[in-house]
Structure 1
Amino acid sequence: MAVVVVTDSAASLPAGPVAELGIEVVPLHVLVDDRALREGVDTCEIDYTSATVSTSAASPGELREVYERALERSGGDGVVAVHISRQLSATWEAGRQAIHDLGASEHVHLVDSLSAGLGTGLPVLAAARRAAAGAPLDGVYDTAVTAANRGRAFIVVNRTEQLRRGGRLSTAAAFFGTELVTKPILRIADGRLELHEKARTRSKAFAKLVAAAVDAAGADGAAIAVQHLAAPEAAATLAGQLENLVPGLREVISAEFGPTLAVHLGPGAVGVVVVPGGCG
């Protein structure tokens, strides 16, 4: 058999590689009024500007069920679970509890991706590709951790209301206490969402986003992911610019932000993830 890689729906991975690599995905939840919707499973129109919409992590029980299934699929070779940053969601902690309840710490290894969206998804791909190549549990785990540590994520949001309500921005007091910043450029550093730079216009924000991504990519090749919410043209333009500017580009993945991230980022958000050295 082979090691099985598990992640959560906030990783935003396209269905193709998930199916091809046998990745198990645990749904996170979007809370709309009195309904808890499973991301990627339940369908519903969501107003991402509404103050009544929120999110919640996967529960230990939900994670335990998927870990058990993945462990059985692996034929005993083991499971590597790569989840959204523990600074941004309770999912990682729920995973730790699920592994404890299973008594499976030797067979299920947990990884904090230190990121979200495809910042989680790219380390998941790196690990799953290594698993598909026949690597043992420790090798797959090390691949995920290395990709997570190398990864850099930058995001431009169109509006700041969702960030203010969600409380996910670690520099919130300093950010919202400054002069009006219409188009902030954010980054995820050590698992925390922080203000990276400020811009007065969307075009200038995108220019800074591209510059930050190119600088993070370095000169030895990188994997790039571009995400957006209701901004496909902007995302396509950014992807094209990065394809021309990043030396030795190894792959480019594009996807929309899933609902659990969209609730906090809002329509018009565009993000870029860079993993120097690629994802295997």
Structure 2
Amino acid sequence: MTTIITDTGSDLPKQLLDEYEIIMLPLIVQVNDEEYLDRSNIEPKQLYTYMKEGAVPKTAQVPPSIIKETLTSCARNGQPAIYITLSSGISGTYQTAVLMKNEVLEEYPNAQIEVFDSQSASLGYGLMVYEAAKEAKEGKSFDEILHTLQHYQKHLEHIFTVDDLEYLLRGGRVSKTAAVMGTLLKIKPVLHMEDGKLFPLEKLRGKKKVLGRMVEIMKERASSLDDITIGISHADDTETAKALKELIIEETGNKNILVTMIGCAIGAHAGPGTIALFFLNTPKKVS
């Protein structure tokens, strides 16, 4: 069986990691002059508390030694492995993982190892990992799983909003003027991902209006919302995530919705109150 590996930016819940034997590697979180391994010795709620108190966290990629050790273990045991990483457009983890893969292949030239750039973030590539792990458990081949990942990479949509523009300002996603005016006017930006990078899409006033628009965009972009898993991730805002889920069910009838909390790696940049929606605009064909 192909081993599926990911990192903590994928925001998958522990029960799915355990059920599908997914290996999750930790990104690094730096806050209040301390360095942590995401989801190892710091949890999202703790980070969001720090942020609400004024802390400005930073993140770093998965340590190369951890990547190499994990890939070496798979190669040594003759296990095919696919490591699905956070988008190369927002993290250096993919590039580092490729270097580590090449080093492992020098020692184990016959090993079947691939590093896959999700061009995605949060539960966006969490859904990719989830689908790959399901296929691995079903006995699909290495190449079949890669084919599915390529479909997701091409057709996965990310629509999200943030509660406080200050966090996007720190990350250089909006100008200082836009952040100040947006806060004063209670403007909520709607953003999306394109080619693995974040881009503003629309600006609306009021959270309820934003949630409605997010669902509208999903319905506009998706050729079908039947038989797909829709993902919702939130940064310590279960109430809004629940409201979005109920709105999706009401508008589309699709109840196959996975809801999870945004972890430290993504939450450090998006900030508390972020809400994100993920879906395929073209369903995967059943082979």
Is the pair's TM-score, using the shorter chain for normalization, greater than 0.5?
Answer: yes
| Identity %, equivalent residues | 23
Structure 2 residue corresponding to 1:277, chosen from 241, 264, 283: 283
Q: 1:110 aligns with which of 87, 90, 115?
A: 115
Structure 2 counterparts to residues 79-94 of structure 1, below 5 A:
79-94=81-96
Aligned residues: 273
Match of residue 226, structure 1, among 215, 227, 232:
232
Deviations 1:202-222 (A, max 9, x none): 221111111112223332522
Structure 2: gaps of 5 or more residues: none
Mapped to 2, the partners of 1:251 and 1:201 lie a distance apart of: 27
Matches within 5 A, 1:101-250: 101-103=103-105, 107-167=112-172, 169=173, 172=174, 176=178, 180=182, 182-219=187-224, 221=226, 222-246=228-252, 249=254
Per-residue Cα deviation, 1:223-279 (whole angstroms, up to 9, x for no partner):
2011111211110111111123236x3721000100111111111111110124269
Report the 3-state secondary structure (helix = DSSP H, G, I; strand = E; otherwise coil) of the residue aligned with 2:124: helix
Distance 1:70 1:14 in 2: 23
AA in 1 matched with 2:10: A
Calculate the TM-score normalised by the size of structure 1. 0.89
1:147·1:279 contact (CA, 8 Å) conserved in 2? no
- Distance in 2, matches of 1:107 and 1:89, equals 24
**Alignment partners' CA distance in 1, 2:96 and 2:285:** 27
Q: What is the CA–CA distance in structure 2 between the aligned matches of 1:238 and 1:70, rounded to whole Å?
A: 40
Instruction: Write the distance in 1 (CA, Å) between the matches of 2:8 and 2:116.
Output: 15
- With the length of structure 2 as denominator, give the TM-score of the two structures: 0.87
Alignment check: 8 A CA contact 1:219 1:246 kept: no
**In structure 1, what residue type is equivalent to 2:3?**
V
- 1:254 is paired with a residue of what secondary structure? strand
Question: What is the Cα deviation at residue 175 of structure 1?
Answer: 8.9
Match of 1:198, SS state, is: strand
Give how far 1:25 is off: 0.3
Q: Which residue of 1 aligns with 2:19?
A: 20
State the alpha-carbon separation in 2 of the partners of residues 23 and 218 from structure 1: 30
Is this contact kept in 2: 1:217–1:246, CA < 8 A?
Answer: no
Consecutive aligned runs of 4 or more in structure 1 exceeding 3 Å deviation: 49-52, 172-181
Q: Of 57, 62, 67, which residue of structure 2 is paired with 1:63?
A: 67
Q: Structure 2 counterpart of 1:23, which letter?
A: I
- CA displacement at 1:141 relative to structure 2: 1.5
Q: Is the 8 A contact 1:86 1:112 kept in 2?
A: yes
For 1:41 and 1:110, how far apart are their aligned partners in 2? 23
TM-aligned CA distance change 1:26 to 1:217, over 3 Å:
same
Cα RMSD of the aligned pairs, angstroms, is 2.4
Letter in 2 for 1:224: I
The CA distance in 2 between the partners of 1:40 and 1:178, in whole Å, is 33
Mean alpha-carbon deviation: is it higher for 120-129 or for 268-277? 268-277
Q: Which has the higher contact order (CA 8 A, sep 6+)?
A: 2
Compare 231-240 and 47-56 and name the one that shifted more: 47-56
Residues 197, 279 of structure 1: alpha-carbon distance in 2 compared, 3 angstrom cutoff: farther
Does the 8 Å contact 1:12/1:256 carry over to 2?
A: yes
| Structure 1 residue 176, shift from structure 2 partner | 3.7
Asked if the contact 1:77–1:136 (Cα under 8 Å) also holds between the matched residues in 2, the reply is no
Code of the aligned partner of 1:158: D
Deviation track 1:23-42 (CA, whole Å, cap 9, x = no partner) reads 00000011013321111110
Alignment-mate amino acid for residue 211 of structure 1: E
